[in-house]
Amino acid sequence: MAGTITVTDYALGNIHVLSCACVADAAAATFPDTVLPRVEGILWDLETNPGATQPTDDYDVTVIDAEGHDVLESAGLNRDTLNTEKVPIVYQQTATHPSVDATDVLTLKIANNAVNSAVTLIKIYIWGATTA
């Protein structure tokens, strides 16, 4: 069975959440690259929660813009295979949160997994976000 990523978005007060339920391919252990809904706001936190069939330890999550830049600022690298992890999304040089614009095309990518049918839930928290 081919891998899937199902994205839902919802509001929690001033926070907007992109929730991505991810299942790797049953034979190739790959996740499909997935264009996210267009949002506008300040990227706040990233949360990853491995499922019952856990991905490879230190798997990587990136969100790539049209210019090839990871807007998560490397916050999604080396995710744990056993535990839910929540980390802030910040520029390393200035410790400030990056922002995204509704015109940005953002693609979720998951790499470095070797487990067939691995499951993970990825949540991206965006402060002051609106959907386009």
Q: What tokens appear for 110 in the block?
A: 């998951």
> What confidence score (pLDDT) does residue 131 get?
67
102 within 8 A of 130, measured Cβ to Cβ? yes
> What confidence score (pLDDT) does residue 58 get?
97
Confidence band for 59, pLDDT divided at 50, 70 and 90: very high
| Residue 92 pLDDT exceeds 80 | no
Q: How many separate domains does the chain show?
A: 1
Residue-number span of the structural domain to which 8 is assigned:
4-131
| Residue 54 pLDDT exceeds 90 | yes
Confidence band for 113, pLDDT divided at 50, 70 and 90: very high
Query: How far apart, in whole angstroms, are the C-alpha atoms of residue 66 and residue 75?
Result: 19
CATH classification at residue 28: 2.60.120
pTM comes to 0.94
76 CB-contact burial (10 Å; exposed 0-12 / middle 13-18 / buried 19+): buried
| Residue 110 pLDDT exceeds 90 | yes
